[in-house]
Chains A and B, each alone.
Chain A
Amino acid sequence: MFELLGISPQALFGQLLLGLINGAFYALLSLGLAVIFGMLNIVNFAHGALYMMGAFCAWFLLQYGVGYWPALILAPIIIGLFGVIIERTMLNKLAGLDHLYGLLLTFGVALIVQGVFQNYFGSSGLPYAIPDLLKGGQNLGFMYLPNYRAWVIVFSLIICVATWFLIEKTKLGAYLRAATENPTLVRAFGVNVPLMITLTYGFGVALAALAGVLAAPINQVRPLMGADFIIVVFAVVVIGGMGSIMGSIVTGFTLGLIEGLTKVFYPEASNTVVFVIMAIVLMIKPAGLFGRNV
């Protein structure tokens, strides 16, 4: 069978694993988007810019001697706070209005942030090295797996599952979901809904920043690193079903796999295949694979 495909089984396994690693990034980013959309009904177009800011934040911290590991915690907190400011000063003014307003606002924020970074740092980016602990790699027999990539996949899986658990299985998550359905009622029970909304947005943003820090040693830290990525991530969210937590995680990893395979069999189409799938899914199941029909 493998001979028929014109590829050795070893190479195929290698490519599948790589696809899964890229899928980890899709999952992490679309997870943040899904949380924000599911809980706040905001289509957060600034997500790519915030992802980029996470990577830049790690770079800045490095200039002050703060390495990768602390940055993994600090950068999401710092950028998350930035998200809180955006929510408190701008997004909360749009509560109750059509989705389009939030979309346009966050899109504008993204353009401004990217423009400012590009003005100061240029377009080719800044170097960020892999942390010493994760340098090198393992020879798995069928491929050479850099330690850092293995770390990425394990770490993002943990984050994804933890987020899903937090929102779907804990009391806090139950409040949150209830607040989305009926804010007035939840408020009547003494829950501070606006604060919860703000913190949720901050959390979604922190997830984007975390993905940014994870990507910094792999990609160049560039102002447009998020803009190139975010369109695909939106497609992932649409395929998974807007706002579905599990949907975005599963779709993220699956699409990473499919894209990985495309890179072997027809590389020219590797950046379109996700959109082809999106079009097909939307025709068959307009609410997305895991979306509930409204």
Chain B
Amino acid sequence: MKKPNQFIRNFCIIAHIDHGKSTLADRLMEQTGQVSKRDMEEQLLDSMDIERERGITIKLTPVRMFYDSDDGNEYVFNLIDTPGHVDFTYEVSRSLAACEGAILIVDASQGIEAQTLANVYLALENNLEILPVINKIDLPSARPDEAKREIEDVIGLDASYAPLVSAKDGTNIKEVLEDAVKYFPPPDGDEDAPFKALIFDSYYDNYKGVILFVRVKDGGVAVGDKITTFRSDKIYEVTEVGVFAPSMLPKDGLKAGEVGYIAASIKSIQDVAVGDTVINADNRAAEPLPGYKKVQSVVFCGIYPLDGSKFGDLKDALLKLQLNDASLIFEPDTSQALGFGFRCGFLGLLHMEIMQERLEREFNLDIITTAPSVSYKVIKTDGETVFVDNPSHLPPVSEIESMEEPIVHADIYSPPDYLGQIMDLCRDKRGIFEQMTYLDANRVKLEYRLPLNEIIFDFFDKIKSRTRGYASFDYEIIGYEKSKLVKLDMLLNGDVCDALSIIVHESSAYNRGRTLCENLKDAIPRQLFEIPVQAAVGGKIIARETVKAMRKDVLAKCYGGDITRKKKLLEKQKEGKKRMRTIGSVEVPSEVFMQILKTNDD
């Protein structure tokens, strides 16, 4: 038995969204000389465009640093930056399994937030040593002592030694590094044992195949080794191993306690799953490492290629994204209106949005997404229970005994000034008030039971707009409840458009139907004939609008000089038509399918 290098510290940073994780990570890298100040691009580890634009971390990102401690030794730090948003808890739990310690950042002015707690519990579950750090002490509204007191009261951690830092200004960063050396344990494991490493992330490289991000627990791996995983019987030869510096830097090998990557010409994306354990094929370890809890999708939507012939490209893109984000699930689906596509499951609305954006940006795909749905429990008259997340798969009304919908427990934090607005909104969304707690003079926690299908549309946006951005919101699913749900169909020129069907509560069917008719009327371009736009529940029409026939679409003049120009114009118009879907005889632009997400009030 040989203990791994005792001068390694593997840790991550956890925090509520926007408490400064990525900024602190950048600062640590700068302080350890990993990157020169000159090369610093703001938020170095948020490398995706979407991350920079939205100012949030979506993906975990590992990086290796060297630190000369005051104790005279040089330490290797492996830091894993993690997302803060509730939808990405899965990413966080993956990084935690690869670490021994976690830096817990608490915003000096905002204190403990919903996601701070969630992440702390995750870290505690993983037996991590937690080092609290109070950030943003440069802000005039900073109240570091109160933040410390909250950490002690709410989480029960001793915060007396917590460094007070400003990641923005670079104040007291050194203290954080020293504390990491002092408080985080070195990795355990056995260098002499057979090789065993946890896959905590992966992505697909066009030249090298699948790249595995691993935390080596036992033994070591080097170029030329034969590897396999516990769940697959395929054997691969390692072509490259290395560390994150922060870009990938090849090395001869990785040993127990280290964090790095492995490339082994793995071509098939399905063969290696995040959470699986990599082992040496010639010297197999006996037991796999504990993987991750399988996560449950809560929001579903259909994703279709705008151009039907791009189905294969969409499939490849989804597979590659899944490799990078195991929480994304999908299966092939067909729609009369949209053709071949996929039914996809996500951890939340933001997760869904981000995935849609990544498909468009990273894979250059034009996609159409259908309305988000939750998974409903349908008890049929024959006693069978089925789960339905796609409105068009709902059994006929005559076969449905009853339906249940997922219910969440929601915590809404807000300054007291906005309580009225929030309560109004929750009432509109069929929320049931449970409790109100004054956290301090400026902060109230409201607890509600809410149907999940009411919050997946625009709840978050509305909370933000009604409280001028002050409120924050977190939820967890607590179970299913019986509910009077109906399927709302939209008919274009008499034909049901399956991609526009939604499941709604009986009480809101009429309003949603009317709003949708109005929105669709505006979104569908006028055509050569009149198009009735109708909303129907169970075959009964409940709302109707009409897209009038187009009266004028002509170029007034077409003489000698106009011919080329006119032809170009018509070609452009034709291009636009090509991007439309035909439902029955109606040509529908893809934006129409997004109308379902809009509601008309405020």
Q: Do A and B bind each other?
A: no
The residues of B with any CB-CB pair to A shorter than 8 Å are none
